[in-house]
Structure 1
Amino acid sequence: MTARSNSTFPSLSAPRAVARPFHALSEKKFLHNRPEDDVYKLLIDCYRFRVEDDYKFAGEVEEDCIYAGAPNSYEPFKRFLRKAEQRDGLLPTWWSSEKAKACLEYGKKQKHWSDLGCAIEKHDVTEHYEDNLMPMKLRMLGEQILGTGPGGQSGAAMMQLQMATERGSMLSSNLDISQMVR
């Protein structure tokens, strides 16, 4: 498994497109009103980051993914997409089985940021998207798709905290407590 540097790979075409991203996540609209390529990137990165989290926090590895020595994570990503498709309203209205195939093909581009043959870590996500909260956004999107957060944890309290911050009813800081949650 190899990590992918992001220095030559663009992030989202419109990274600030969602004014209140945690509200959009809560309303299952985070992937809506975005260009197709951005939705593909977000789904792929959500999956790749969840695999990293599951490995790091719970020691869990799907046997057919790169963390178990497979050359790529195409099959487990297809299962992830099927779960996303089962969540009412989560995917944009234009999503179809053809778009799912296009998303997978997007993840098959080697030497590309969204390469499903490469691992990513939290610092990669933060740096690539130039957003300290993007790892949390991807985790919460993953929780909506899979039903639980990394390690079986719930992100509901953090979602409420972030939404309060977006409303301006709470001050927040970006503390990294990941080392305390092992």
Structure 2
Amino acid sequence: MSKMWEWIKVAIIAFLTVVLIRTFLWAPILVDGVSMMPTLHNENRVIVDKLSYQFGEPNRFDIIVFRATENKNYIKRVIGLPGDHIAYKSDTLYLNGEPCDEPYLAEYKKKQSNGSFTSDFTLEHLPGGYKVVPEGHLFVLGDNRRFSKDSRTIGVIPMDVVIGGVDVIYWPLDEVGIVK
């Protein structure tokens, strides 16, 4: 009987450890859709670091996971931080009036032969009508701009819905590695 009790204690401790890690540190997430191609592909499995944004805020161009609805999480790239003016013109991102390079899109843009990759817009002509990204919010875009539901349609997102940052792809095995 004491041997059985020892196994039960080990199982309970292991279960509680997993729950604590998934709740506060890291969580596996399944990429659902093509909005982050070519960086992340449909059905990639990634690890979300929940801890990093407990002590700091996302940086520009980080890939984050956030609660879009009660039942749906989105994975997008941070483009605008609080106080930033965002505009896109002729497939060029403008941050605070200055053109900004997006090297993570170079490969995908080369493959696009018909029309612009990202439609022209300015922040004030999007949902919310803001001149700059409000304090406590982020402006996010998917890397696959033609097929992404992001801040252009849902508006800026509050920081308090950010779950964490995506740092690692762990599945499929041929794509395992650090997210660039």
TM-score (norm 2): 0.29
More strand by share: 2
Q: Flag the structure with higher helix content.
A: 1
State the structure with more CA Rg. 2
The structure, 1 or 2, with the larger RCO (C-alpha pairs under 8 Å, 6+ apart) is 1
